[in-house]
Every structure is written in structure tokens, then in C-alpha cells.
Amino acid sequence: MSTGGATNAAGPGARGAALEVRDINFAYGHLQVLFDVSIQIAAGEALALLGTNGAGKSTLLRNICGLERPDSGAVTLDGRDITGMPAERLAGQGLVLIPGGRAVFTDLTVDENLEMQALGLRRQKGLLDERLDRVFTTFPRLAERRGQKAGLLSGGEQQQLALAKALLLDPQLLCIDELSLGLAPVVVGELLEIVQAISESGVTLVVVEQSLNIAAELCSRAVFLEKGEVRFEGRTSELLEQDDIARAVFFGAS
């Protein structure tokens, strides 16, 4: 299942956005999940969010991307306060999330999934056609299955479609929640080529990942969360040397 033109994954002149999370606290009812979490991500950087099961990784991503609103603290994108801004509005400003699981409409075809994602581009047909051409060049397997329902695609093809939907929005900052979950290693390797090409084009990446090896391959820097607090922040290579944390990621991450 070749992915094709990985070097064309992101748009021409792609530009990353800087992200800052300051002192985020968040609770589900009486259960506090995040405690004064602060991270900074430079424009064009790739950051891995790692942690044990229930550490708050996906919850932090949801707070960043507008699916949850922090109880306190702030999130800024290129210096603009985006705290609690709805996800659809953030997507229009270049912050795009690929949520965990298969982020596709299984009852819709590949084409229909992409059309739903690109509703905001309906009046810019030239731009939409250009982005669709780029997506199908990057994912030739999807081009072959445009009329097929997404629910009939393989797990790897569904993740390709999730990536394709994100690329249609021309992201400046792309957040990915466990891209590799449940996929065969060969499929993961093909998807990583695309994500690496997106990163190399200048798009900022924030990746929640269950595999330390994948995180190290994609990201130069990592944050390790434990019970909703930042326990480690630094280069991914340094994290690999922290035996206790590495064991926690290998044996306890979700």
C-alpha cells in the first residue's frame, strides 16, 4: 500500500505556527486530570506527548484543540489567545486535530468524507481542486477508492483518509492523537513517511503516541505526563536515557 508522493504531502510554502500552553488545569466533574501543565512549541517543531495510561495526554490535546475548555490557564497560537476557541474556528486558523480512533465517517465514501471536510472551500473551487489533487497524489490508494465507503477501507487506509482530511485544511499546526494505534508495523511505516514529510515542510506537529520508538522517529522533543503533570520535557534522545520513564511508556502507555 504505497503512499506515493510524500514530498508533496503539505502545501507549497507550508508554515508552522508556534504554540504555548500556560498553567492549564482541567477536570471532568470532580476528577482533576491536568495540573498546571505548561509547554512551549516553536514554529516548525515536532513535539511528542507521552505518558502512562490515564496521564492526560489526549485530554491536553483536546484542551489545545478546542474540544474542551481549560478550567484555568491559557493556550496561545502565534501569540494569539485561543483558549476555549471552538475546534472548527481553530481549524480555520491553521490548528487541525486528527483525533484518536478512526477520524472518518464510515457510512460516507472517501469523496464524501473529503467534501464534508472542505465545506469552507466550496466557493474557492480552484483552491479546493488544487488541494484535492495534492491529497490524491499523496495517497494514490485513496484515489483508487474514491467511491468506496470509508467503513470498508482497511485500518491503514482509514488513517490515510484521516490524514488526507487534515491536509485539505492546509494546517500550520497539526495535532495527531495516536496515529499508529492498532495498525501493523508496515502500515505504520508508510504513514510515518507522510507525517515526516508534513513536518519537513515546516508544519508544526504535536503527536500523542503510544510508541516511544515512533515518537523518537518523528519528534525531536518530548513531554512526558504522569498523573496530569509534566514529569519530563526535553529532547526525545534524552528521554530514551531515562530508564524509568522509558519503561513506563513501553509497558504502561495507552
- Domains (range + CATH), the chain: 6-252 (3.40.50.300)
38 touches 233 (CB < 8 A): no
**Pairwise CA distance, residues 117 & 98, whole Å:** 12
From the CB of residue 190, how many other CB atoms can be counted at a distance below 10 Å? 20
Query: Given pLDDT bands bounded at 50, 70 and 90, which one contains residue 129?
Result: confident
- Cα torsion 228, 231, 235, 237: sign: negative
Using alpha carbons, select from 22, 23, 54, 55 the residue that is nearest to residue 41. 22
* Cα dihedral value 231, 236, 237, 239, nearest 10: 20
Model pLDDT for residues 63-111, shown as the tens digit of each residue = 999 999 999 999 999 999 999 999 999 998 999 999 987 789 999 999 9
- What is the mean predicted confidence (pLDDT) over 190-194? 92
**Pairwise CA distance, residues 32 & 207, whole Å:** 23
Integer angstrom CA distances of residue 188 from 101, 122, 178, 211, 217: 14, 32, 11, 11, 12
239 touches 222 (CB < 8 A): yes
Dihedrals phi, psi of 117, to nearest 5 degrees: -65, -30
- What is the mean predicted confidence (pLDDT) over 213-230? 93
Q: At residue 5, does pLDDT exceed 50?
A: no
Model pLDDT for residues 10-62, shown as the tens digit of each residue = 554 556 789 999 999 999 999 999 999 999 999 999 999 998 888 999 999 99
pLDDT computed for residue 248 by the predictor: 65
From the CB of residue 173, how many other CB atoms can be counted at a distance below 10 Å? 27
Starting at the edge strand found earlier in the chain, the sheet holding 173-177 runs 95-98, 173-177, 204-208, 46-51, 221-226, 229-235
Q: At residue 2, does pLDDT exceed 50?
A: no
- 3-class SS shares of the chain: helix, strand, coil, % to 5: 40, 25, 35
